[in-house]
Structure 1
C-alpha cells in the first residue's frame, strides 16, 4: 500500500505489522536515509550480523532464505535489499508467503510507476511503498531545520533561505552540509548568514547563480565573468550551468505571472519558495522589468534545448553555454528597450 507523505515519518519509525518497505524515487540519498531510519527502528545496532542482513544487487535470490532464518539472539530481523528492480518481485512474493516477522527494506531508486514490483507492493497490505523525491521550498526548509534541531542547533531565517537556494537534489549531500554546520555551531549554537556562507562548500554554485542572475538582468560583463569562472575555475559542468539558468528562469516566470495578475513585484518575490535571497532582490526585480511571461517561456525552452545539446557526444558544450548566456543578455536588453 502507498504510504501518505504525512505518515512517512511515523511509518519509518514504527513499521508495525509491515513485512516490507519499498523505497523508490529520484533521491538516492533520501532513500538511503529512510532505509536507515526504518532499519534502526527494528534493530538499533545495524552492525549486528544476527539481526541485520544486507543483500546487494547479485544477492537478491537469497531473500527468501534470509527472511526465514531465525535470529540467534532473539528480536526481529531486518533484510536490507539494495539496487532492486522487477527481478525482486518473485523472491519477495515467496518471502511474504512465509511465516515470519522479518522486515524487508528495499532500496529501488528509479523504479518506474509501471514496474511490476511497485504495482504488487502498492496493492499488498503487508508492504509499504514510499516515494523519495528531491525536496524543495518549505519541505526542504523544514527538513534542514529538523536536522539541525536534532543536534540542538538553530538557524537564522536569512541563513536558512541562503542554504535552501543552494541545496542540491541529493538528501545525502544536504545532510553532509548540515552535519558540518552543526559541528561548527556546537550544541546549543545558532547559525547566522555569515556562518553558513563560510561553512557551506558551494563556491561553484554561487558562480552559477551569479551567471544566471546577471544574464537575465542583461548584465553581459558580469554574466560572462561568472559563467567563465563557474565553468573553468570552479569546475562546474555546462549542464549544471544550463540547469541553474533554467531554475532561475522558471522562478522569474512564476513571479512575472503573479505580477501580471495584479500582485506587486515585492509580494511576487516573497511568495516564491524559497523567497528570493535579500541580496539578490535588486537583480531579480531588474530582470522582472525586462522580461514578459511569454519571453521567459521561450527562454526556458531554449535553455532546455541547450542542456540537450550539451549532452551530445563531442558537443562544444562550454562554447554553447557561453553563447547562450550572451544571447540571454541581449534578449534582456532588447525587452527592456521595448518595455
Structure 2
C-alpha cells in the first residue's frame, strides 16, 4: 500500500495490523524521524530490548527470527531495519511469512521508482510505503515562519526570503535553523535580516554554499577553494553533503522548467523563495548545464558519500571534498 502525503500522519498514529512499513526518500532526517517515531509509538520505547530490535542492512538475515519473536511481557514487538535496499527483499518476505505480529520498519534512502523494495511495500497486502521528500523551495520560507511563530518569534519578510535560501533541503536542517533562531531571539522575540546573517552564516555555512554553487556551476577551482574554507571553518562534511542534496533537489525543479522551454534565467527568476542575489549567477549557470538524468546520478552519488562518511575508519573530509570536486568536473564538461 502506498501511503499518500495527506494520509501519512494518520497512518503513523495508527498503522493497524500492517506488518511491514518502508519509510524512504532523500530527506534522511525525516526518514529517521518517522521511522523511529513509529517504532517508539508501537514499542513504547526505543530502549526496551524485549520490545524492539535494531538491525543494519548486513544483518537482514536475522529478520525472520526477530519478526517471529514474542515481546516479553506482552505488547507488539518492533524490528527496525536501517539502510534498507533491494538486497533485503528476500529476508523481508521471509519475515512476513512467519506467524508473529511484529512490525518490521525499514528505513531506506532515495529508492528509484523501479526499486524492488518499493514495489514490494506498495503491493503486499500487509505492507505500506511512505516517501519522505525535502520541503520544496516554495515551502521552506512558510515552514520556517510557522515554526518561529509557534515559538512566539516574528521574522521580517525580507529575512524569511533570505533565510529560506540558506537552508539545507532536509526537514532536519530547517528545524535546526528554527531552533537556533529561536534561541538567538531570546527575549526580543523579533528577528531581522542582520540576525539571519549572524545566525545562519556561522560554522562555515557561507563557504559551504559557495562550494556547492561553484561545484554545480562547473567551477572546479572555486569549488576546491570554498570547500577547503568551509571545512577549515568547522563545517561538518555530512552537513555539506546534506545541503548539497537540498540544492540538487531544487536543481531538478529548475531542470524541469528548462526542459519545458524556459530559459535558465527565467527558471531561476521564478523560483520561490527567490534565490539570494549573490547566488543568482552561479545558480543560473547550473540550471543551464544540468538535466534530470545527471541530477539523479548526482543525488545518488551524494547519498553514497553521506553513507560512506559514517563508516568506521572513513575520512569524511576527503569523501566530501572528492564528491564536490567530482560533480564540479562533471558539470564543467556539460555543454550549455
TM-score between both structures, scaled by the size of structure 2: 0.64
RMSD, aligned CA = 5.0
Gaps of 5+ in 1: 216-222, 325-330, 332-339
Write out aligned runs for 1:23-38 (5 A): 23-38=23-38
Question: Pairwise mapping of residues 53-72 of structure 1 onto structure 2 (< 5 A)?
Answer: 53-72=53-72
1:140-177 deviation per Cα after TM superposition (whole angstroms, max 9, x unaligned): 33544555566565544333322221222344344333
Q: How far 1:62 sits from its partner (Å)?
A: 1.7
Whether contact under 8 Å (1:24, 1:131) holds in the other structure is: yes
C-alpha spacing 1:77/1:192, structure 2 compared with 1 (3 Å): farther
Is the partner of 1:121 in helix, strand or coil?
A: helix
SS at match of 1:133: coil
1:116 aligns with 2:89: no
- Whether the 8 Å CA contact 1:253–1:296 is kept in 2: the answer is no
Distance 1:108 1:269, change over 3 A: closer
Alignment match, 1:230: 226
After the TM superposition, which residues 1-339 of structure 1 pair with which residues of structure 2 at under 5 Å, given as runs? Answer: 1-145=1-145, 147-148=147-148, 153=153, 155-185=155-185, 189-200=189-200, 201=202, 202-205=205-208, 207=210, 230=226, 233-235=229-231, 271-277=270-276, 280=277
Structure 2 runs not aligned, ≥5 long: 302-318
Q: Report the alpha carbon displacement of residue 249 of structure 1 after superposing the two structures with TM.
A: 12
- What displacement does 1:43 show? 3.5
Change (3 A) 1:95 1:197: same
String of CA shifts for 1:76-135, please: whole Å, max 9, x gaps.
Answer: 322111121223223322332334442211012133322322212111232111122333
Cα gap change, 1:91 to 1:46, in 2 (>3 Å): same
Any idea what SS the aligned residue of 2:226 has?
Answer: helix
CA distance in 2 between counterparts of 1:46 and 1:252 reads 41
CA distance in 1, matches of 2:116, 2:53: 24
Separation of aligned partners in 1, 2:190 and 2:131: 32
**Partner Cα separation in structure 1 for residue 126 and residue 120 of structure 2:** 11
1:192-249 Cα offsets, whole Å, 9 max, x none, are: 333232122322145459979xx9xxxxxxx9x9878635534599x999x9799789
| TM score, norm. by length of structure 1 | 0.64
- Partner Cα distance (1:159, 1:91) in 2: 49
Larger Rg: 1
Query: Residues of 2 paired with 1:211 and 1:90: CA distance?
Result: 43
